[in-house]
Amino acid sequence: MKAFVATGDTASTVRQAEVAPPEPGPGEALVKVDAYSVNRGETFQLEAPEQGWRPGKDIAGLVVQAAADGSGPAVGSRVVGHPASAGWAEYAAVPTGALAVLPEEVPTVVAAALPLAGLTALRLLRTAGAVAGRRILLTGASGGVGHYLTELATRAGALVTAVSASAERGGRLAELGAQVVSRVAEADGVFDLILESTGGPNLPQALAKLAPRGQLIWFGQASREPALLDFFGFFAGPLSATVRHFSYADTDGPDAPDLRTLVRLVAEQRLHPEIGAVADWSRTPELLADLRERRIRGNAVLTIS
């Protein structure tokens, strides 16, 4: 079968190649992939790929072989899946605990944009606790995670200020109810909760805007610059504040329940994935470059014809 493999070359990070079809284990279903989403974090993984690793964590398609242990969706089910890797391919073996069945009203292209970004947003807000009436500052907001976070938080009653480098990239965030600024320094007021995904100088600037006993959750370092914090800076404003690291993968259970929640919200028109680019999968290298250079708003989805 055809699949994209890592080249280890920063100029052209992936190439299409012939690989052996996957052999599903007892708790895995074989999915014919119709579409997959690429994430900016994966572009960083592709810089120094592990031997034998293939990229691909967000897929949607059709179950063509059910799990041998009887778990999970039946043959013929349309599904969204979150495999650990190797999803940028014609077929993927996916643990049934990382699959959710799609209703007719959720298109495959839309579903493919849900797993990594959607799970991150859902679990971040769960970690933060109740957000109704709280003032939230969100950095790095114009990617897939930022759009999900903004819609979920504003619909839950939060007051969201989203940081987006350009007006064009921040346009949809404003439509979703956020106040959009281009820099952390422009954010007005203090915030009960800060969701920080860029690192570098933005993290200490954001921390300075935290209300006393507020919480800053750090969940990414998109700038790829280290963040330096001055402990005594806490006494200048964010007294007794909490700084917490978050990883979306830090969960004790399977992904399927949260995937089903995301699918249900989309089906009920309560969550609207922001898909900035859809293209044939032959253009995967091109879209990876666009995503890395922030030329795409929200998610990018590739379709397998």
CB crowding 146-173: b at 16 or more within 10 Å, else e: bbbbbbbbbeeebbbbbbbeeeebbebb
The predicted structure's pLDDT at residue 168: 84
pLDDT digits (tens, 9 = 90+) for 276-285: 999 999 999 9
Residue 289 to residue 304: CA distance in whole angstroms: 19
Maximal C-alpha separation, the chain: 60
- For the chain, residues classed under CATH 3.90.180.10 are 2-114+273-303
Q: How many residues does the chain have?
A: 305
DSSP readout, 144-183? HHHHHHHHHHHHTT-EEEEE-SSHHHHHHHHHTT-EEESS
Which has more pLDDT, 233 or 288?
A: 288
The predicted structure's pLDDT at residue 175: 96
pLDDT at 118 over 70: yes
Question: Residues of the chain with pLDDT > 70: what percent?
Answer: 99
pLDDT at 6 over 90: yes
Start-to-end Cα distance in the chain = 14
Q: Are 146 and 140 in contact (CB under 8 A)?
A: yes
CATH of domain 119-245: 3.40.50.720
The predicted structure's pLDDT at residue 189: 86
Residue 58 to residue 152: CA distance in whole angstroms: 20
pLDDT at 155 over 80: yes
Band of residue 17 on the pLDDT scale cut at 50, 70, 90: very high
The predicted structure's pLDDT at residue 11: 62
Q: Are 221 and 200 in contact (CB under 8 A)?
A: yes
Long-range contact list for 64-71, CB < 8 A, 24+ apart? 64/30, 64/31, 64/32, 64/91, 65/24, 65/29, 65/30, 66/29, 67/24, 67/26, 67/27, 67/28, 67/29, 67/96, 68/24, 68/25, 68/26, 68/27, 69/26, 69/27, 71/27, 71/96, 71/97
According to CATH, the topology of domain 2-114+273-303 is Quinone Oxidoreductase; Chain A, domain 1 (3.90.180)
pLDDT at 304 over 80: yes
pLDDT at 43 over 70: yes
Compute the average pLDDT of residues 233-245: 85
pLDDT digits (tens, 9 = 90+) for 170-215: 999 999 999 999 999 999 989 999 999 999 999 999 999 999 999 9
- For the chain, residues classed under CATH 3.40.50.720 are 119-245
Compute the average pLDDT of residues 99-104: 98
| Averaged pLDDT of the chain | 94
Band of residue 272 on the pLDDT scale cut at 50, 70, 90: very high
Instruction: Give the residues across from 300 on adjacent strands.
Output: 38, 277
pLDDT at 237 over 80: no
pLDDT at 9 over 80: no
Neighbours of 236 (CB within 10 A): 10
